[in-house]
Amino acid sequence: MSTKILVLGSSNVDLILRVPRFHHPGETIRADNLTTVFGGKGANQAIASKRLGAEVTFITRLGNDYYGKSYRRYLIEKGLNQKSILADKKVPTGMAFIELDPKGENRIVVSPGSNSSLSVDDLRRCDPLFGKIKAFVTQLEIPIETVRMGLKMAKRYAALSLLNPSPSRPLSAEILSLTDFLVPNELEAQSLTGLKMRKDQDLPRIAARLLKMGVKNVVITLGPKGLFFKNRDEEIRIKAFRVKVVDTTAAGDAFMGGLACALSEGKPIREALIFANTAGAFATTKLGAQPSLPFKKEVETFIKNQSK
Ligand code: RIB
């Protein structure tokens, strides 16, 4: 039987512009093409968790506009519970404007739209959905009060809580202490702690600071350099897999989905990190957020072949 995961977070429509290079202030450049896909960190993490084997409930808020309606239909088609896909009559659906360079690196500007009105009251009304979940996953593209309440409810239901602190913003001691697994990237880890990462050897110090700030486990994702994990008892470094990078968008979301699935299935931490790392690497090999999210079988086969 599959494990139950609840994801709380944003849904955006992503407009991806392939640019020859990132442009300078005041400059106008031409994009090679424009692709529109479904994205948003919350939705990406929900779809990733589903593809990677979990039974997923997703709490989100879309606009009642053209994009919102088609996104809603799509999420329901993907098997997500329609009751928690809320609609906002006044505010448009969240949008992300993504510039993608030939190396697969991106720059993203998000217009939050209806994600900003996903409220604490919405969450209270979703209380029954927290029953029997193994893990709770959230990020920071929705109001911080809603994130805090989600983490509190997860703890009340004894679920494992995972927070991806992206996009970066200061976090209260309460939020950090409600978090079992904090999964920042390098930049987010630096901005949360105020510590600079000049070399790899700085990672234990930065992770230790995050533990001191209240989280129980820290996973710092390092893109092409892999990841660094630390809790009170151990430190683990895992290298990234070498893949041909097309688009790094949503690699962190695939990682989150992979980690939530593996941990809630009871995999030991190293195994869970390898699973998440592989899911993240897969997501960089295709264009777009959700089109690039891998399935459990792909990730498992890849890991099996690596260990031969
Ligand atoms: O993490 C990738 C996501 O960030 C994109 O899908 C975009 O919507 C932004 O929220």
The residue range of the domain holding 226 is 4-10+41-61+79-87+115-307
Residue 27 lies in a domain: no
Among 122, 124, 162, 170, which Cα is nearest to 144's? 170
* pLDDT at position 306: 79
39 lines ligand 1 (CB under 6 A): yes
Whether ligand 1 lies within 6 angstroms of the CB of 122 is answered as: no
Does residue 225 fall inside a structural domain?
A: yes
Q: Looking at the domain assignment, is residue 291 inside a domain?
A: yes
Structural domain contains residue 103: no
* Total structural domains within the chain: 1
Give yes or no for residue 9 CB within 6 A of ligand 1: no
Ligand 1 centre and the CA of 61: distance in Å? 15
Of ligand 1's listed atoms, the one at least distance from the Cα of 14 is 8
Residue 227's DSSP bridge partners are 221, 238
Q: Is it true that the peptide bond before 112 is cis, omega within 30 degrees of 0?
A: no
The answer to whether residue 26 sits within a structural domain is no
| Secondary structure class of 12 (helix, strand, coil) | strand
Query: For 103, which DSSP code?
Result: T
Q: Which helix (H) or strand (E) holds 235?
A: strand 235-238
Residue 69 lies in a domain: no
- The Cα–Cα gap between 135 and 56 comes to 10
Q: How far apart are CA 101 and CA 103, in angstroms?
A: 5
Q: Give the integer Cα–Cα distance in Å for 64 and 70.
A: 10
Residue 95 falls within a domain, yes or no?
Answer: no
Give the residues across from 182 on adjacent strands: 163, 218
Nearest atom within ligand 1 for CA of residue 290: 6
Binned average pLDDT, 10 residues per bin, the chain of 308 residues: 93 96 94 95 98 97 97 96 94 97 92 98 96 97 98 98 97 98 97 94 97 98 96 96 91 98 97 97 93 96 83
CATH number, domain with residue 234: 3.40.1190.20
pLDDT at position 302 is: 87
Looking at residue 20, its pLDDT comes to 95
36 inside domain:
no
Distance of CA 285 to the CA centre of its chain: 17
Query: Angle, nearest 10°, between helix axes 203-212 and 186-193?
Result: 50
